[in-house]
Amino acid sequence: MRYVRLLVFVLVVLVIMAVPLALVLARSYFLSPTAQPVKAQPIQFPHQVHVQAIGLDCTYCHRNATTSAQATLPPLELCMQCHKIIPAQGRPELEKLVSAFEQNQPILWNKVHQLPDHTHFVHSVHLSFGFQCSTCHGDVGAMGKPGVKQVRDLRMGDCITCHQQNGARTDCSVCHY
């Protein structure tokens, strides 16, 4: 009899615990990616300076966007083409850049946009159709520190709605392996 009561007690505790746990899980699953806070980056890279002030094209750094699935991030060598002649002393973000380059260490940027592995996205197809980067990423050129923020949902419902509006395929195999 004692064991039965103990068992009932444990079950009740588990059920009570399950509610907040389920809520936490549901929140991280259902919360739109656009509601997530800006991800911390190893170097606070200001797009604003490079795009608006210097006038670089997005594809100057994200070289593969128009030709491949991945847009890709630039290697440090590309940054250093300019930054080897820009004084870094007393500017922590630039000091991190220069010392990583000198020690031959890559910068491990945190991903802002990330689809699950079983999904398939191709940058080049969307760009040759005529969409701009800003269609999906917003005005990245105006984003300064601390970094890029996701501004469009880009989950399945969003992908499919736009595909339907533009006469693109919507069968599962287009986007899923």
Question: What does the alpha-carbon distance between residue 177 and residue 106 come to, in Å, rounded to a whole number?
Answer: 30
Q: Which is nearer to ligand HEC, 5 or 117 (CB)?
A: 117
Q: How far is CA 30 from the centre of its chain?
A: 17
Q: Which is nearer to ligand HEC, 10 or 78 (CB)?
A: 78
Helix (H, G, I), strand (E, B) or coil at 137: helix
Handedness of CA 78, 79, 82, 87 (dihedral sign): negative
Q: Smallest distance from the beta carbon of 39 to ligand HEC, in angstroms?
A: 7
Q: Smallest distance from the beta carbon of 12 to ligand HEC, in angstroms?
A: 30
Q: Smallest distance from the beta carbon of 21 to ligand HEC, in angstroms?
A: 18
Q: Which is nearer to ligand HEC, 23 or 36 (CB)?
A: 36
Q: Smallest distance from the beta carbon of 19 to ligand HEC, in angstroms?
A: 22
Q: Which is nearer to ligand HEC, 21 or 78 (CB)?
A: 78
